[in-house]
Amino acid sequence: MVIERFIIVIIACVMMTLSGSAQITLNSRRAVHDSRTGDWLCSVPESTFGTDFTATFNTSEPWINITIDGDTVANGSSYTFIQIAGDKKYALVAHIGDSITISGNICFTFLPIFEFTGTFNNDYQISEIIANLPQNQGPTPMLSKLKHRGGSTNSPERLKRNYHIKFLDADSQKMDRKFFGLRNDNSWILDAGQIDMLRIRNRVSTELWLDMSRKPYYGDQEPKALLGVRGDFIELFLNGQYNGIYALTEALDRKQLKLAKLETDSAGVNTFHGMLWKAKNTDGITRMTSSYGYSNNQAFWGGLEVKYPDPDDVMPTNWKTMYNATRFVNTSDNNTFRAQVGEYFDIPVIMDYWIFINAIHGVDSGVKNIYWAVYDDQEDKKVTLAAWDLDCTFGQNWINYPLHNEAVVSPTRPLGSFNKLLLRLHELSPDSFSVKAVERYQLLRQTLLNEDSLKQRFHTRLEPLDRAGALARETVRWTKSTDLSRQPLNFPAELEYIDNWIDLHMTYLDNARFRPYIKGDANRDGVVDVGDINVVVNEILAAMTPVWYEDMNNDDVLDIADINAIINIMLGKD
């Protein structure tokens, strides 16, 4: 503790002096220097863009003969930057004595600028953060502990890392911070959009999910519960170098889902109420195809990770409810599954998730990147879900070689990787799940899942980043990086790709997975004919388990009775 406080005092002193190379302020606004390019970036209100900006120029550097765009500027004097814009650069030249020339450009953004200073790895490190917010004239110094976060995104060859921030006060205790008018909390996430050729898929997809998902089963008790996170974009400097566009978001945790808190009695005995688990890896448990045992003395089980109660604070944990739910999916017979699945899972939310991941083609979201949650295990053991890590969507794969791999992300390719819960709901259609999902999909197609609405989300999110100059800076910093499989960043081309992908994909879904059900239409092509008989015959020969629209008499068996039923429909007898 003494050492940690000593480190904090040292960092605080550094923050008070705002140390770094070539410090400039404009009307007390900090212009942040990029040692990679030699330029300075200053955050101003968005309303400043398109206008002349008069600012008092100050520097702590021993500069003489300072000019901006050829005009002489004395330290402490005012200068007018003509027609501020994200794509404009104002050339600054200065001298130190007779032999050293300083040169670079002053640039402007209306996005917040965060500066990280420190050493970062997979463990939390005490770090300095300076937030330069467009609405504030002066910088805001903050203490925090930071670490890299993510799974594959955190492998050694990756460069543009994600970060988990926990803000601290001067006594190294957690300190809540509020950004973008969102929740007040000490825990925040910085999402790099590391592999995403547009950098905004995760944010756009999460916002779509928040708009289309119904409230969880405990929504009446907790109307402010959110099944995803909110956030907005910033520009980040890392140890004096520009590091690009990031989404600063809330954490997906107990507070976000409004889960009931753990109770600990005077004897130290824990009573578990709200619980939260993350499907972090692909395994028999996260696929819900295995039912092997667990240990409450471990924070990981079968690809799942305990997120609440925090295993660093509470151990042993409690896996029983999640075990019972996954075991039910894996081992129950069809009739039991149809009758009881609603006792184990929050079906309306899961139905929305089924529609959602098919609509966005979430190639990494059918098994992994799901948060499973119980509101209060003492009252109801029903499990709901929250969506997370949605960058592999809308035609984006895990890797970019080849770019837009048609074998994986084609807009007319069915999404195929799901946990067994989603598959059984779709195939067995308990309580008409699949029919109701089609009806809900068709309703959403008129609003949130309309092609123009989906495309507008991307255009609306990308336009400010372009106008602020952030896309150009991101391109200079990261085009052809190893994170992108050496592909060049081309935001206009990628936006056009997404527009075309959405048109093709939504038409495909209309005619395939979410086509309205016609009795007898075993191949889901919209008509009842000999093709449907052939499908059933082939599946009988292969001893296939029927899905709900193939099993004409709902007896869980494909046989001659199903073929006769289709023939009777064709002949108009049914």
Task: Give pLDDT, residue 158.
Answer: 79
* Other CB atoms within 10 A of residue 178 CB: 9
Q: Give Cα separations from 415 to 269, 333, 356 (angstroms).
A: 45, 25, 11
Paired strand residues for 128: 117, 143
Helix axis angle for 451-467 and 470-478, nearest 10°, is 80
In a domain, 164, yes or no: yes
Same domain, yes or no, for 240 and 270? no
Alpha carbons 480 and 496: distance in angstroms, whole number: 19
Same domain, yes or no, for 147 and 274? no
**Total structural domains within the chain:** 4
Paired strand residues for 25: 30, 58
Residues 480-503, mean pLDDT to the nearest whole number: 97
Same domain, yes or no, for 178 and 295? no
What DSSP state is assigned to residue 69? T
Torsion angles phi and psi, residue 507, rounded to 5: -65, -40
In a domain, 12, yes or no: no
- Of 49, 75, 109, the position where a domain reaches its end is 109
Paired strand residues for 345: 383
> What pLDDT digit, counting tens, does each position of 440-462 carry?
999 999 999 999 999 999 999 99
Q: 């008409």: which residue's tokens?
A: 432
8 Å CB contact between 498 and 361: no
Q: Give Cα separations from 189 to 170, 234, 288, 333, 364 (angstroms).
A: 21, 12, 29, 41, 20
Q: Give Cα separations from 516 to 356, 440, 521 (angstroms).
A: 17, 11, 10
8 Å CB contact between 321 and 377: yes
Task: Give pLDDT, residue 410.
Answer: 98
With bands split at pLDDT 50, 70 and 90, how would you rate the model's confidence at 10?
A: very low
Paired strand residues for 276: 308, 373
Structure tokens at 352: 């929305």
Same domain, yes or no, for 49 and 192? no
Same domain, yes or no, for 50 and 26? yes
**Residue 1 reports pLDDT greater than 80:** no
| Mean pLDDT (the chain, rounded) | 92
8 Å CB contact between 107 and 139: no
In a domain, 6, yes or no: no
Torsion angles phi and psi, residue 93, rounded to 5: -130, 135
In a domain, 544, yes or no: yes
What contacts 334, CB < 8 A, 6 or more positions away?
Answer: 428, 556
Same domain, yes or no, for 216 and 270? no
With bands split at pLDDT 50, 70 and 90, how would you rate the model's confidence at 4?
A: very low
> What pLDDT digit, counting tens, does each position of 393-422 carry?
999 999 999 999 999 999 999 999 999 999
Q: Domain range for residue 553?
A: 530-570
- Of 84, 109, 134, the position where a domain reaches its end is 109
8 Å CB contact between 381 and 266: no
Residues 164-180, mean pLDDT to the nearest whole number: 93
User: Percent of the chain at pLDDT above 90?
Assistant: 80
CATH of the domain at 34: 2.60.40
Residues 181-199, mean pLDDT to the nearest whole number: 96
Alpha carbons 458 and 469: distance in angstroms, whole number: 17
Residues in the chain, how many? 574
- Pick from 45-59, 272-286, 522-536: least confident: 522-536
> What pLDDT digit, counting tens, does each position of 63-107 carry?
999 999 999 999 999 999 999 999 999 999 999 988 889 999 999
Alpha carbons 92 and 101: distance in angstroms, whole number: 10
Phi-psi region for residue 520, left (φ > 0), alpha (ψ -120 to 50) or beta? Answer: left
In a domain, 8, yes or no: no
The per-residue DSSP string of 142-193 comes to EEEEEEEE-SGGGSTT--S-EEEEEEE-TTS-B--EE-TT--EESEEEEE--
Alpha carbons 573 and 520: distance in angstroms, whole number: 12
The answer to whether the pTM exceeds 0.95 is: no
Alpha carbons 143 and 229: distance in angstroms, whole number: 23
Paired strand residues for 310: none
- Of 91, 109, 127, the position where a domain reaches its end is 109
Q: 């008499």: which residue's tokens?
A: 553
Paired strand residues for 54: 80
Sheet (strand 71-72) strand order:
71-72, 64-68, 90-96, 100-109, 40-43, 29-33, 24-26, 53-59, 78-81
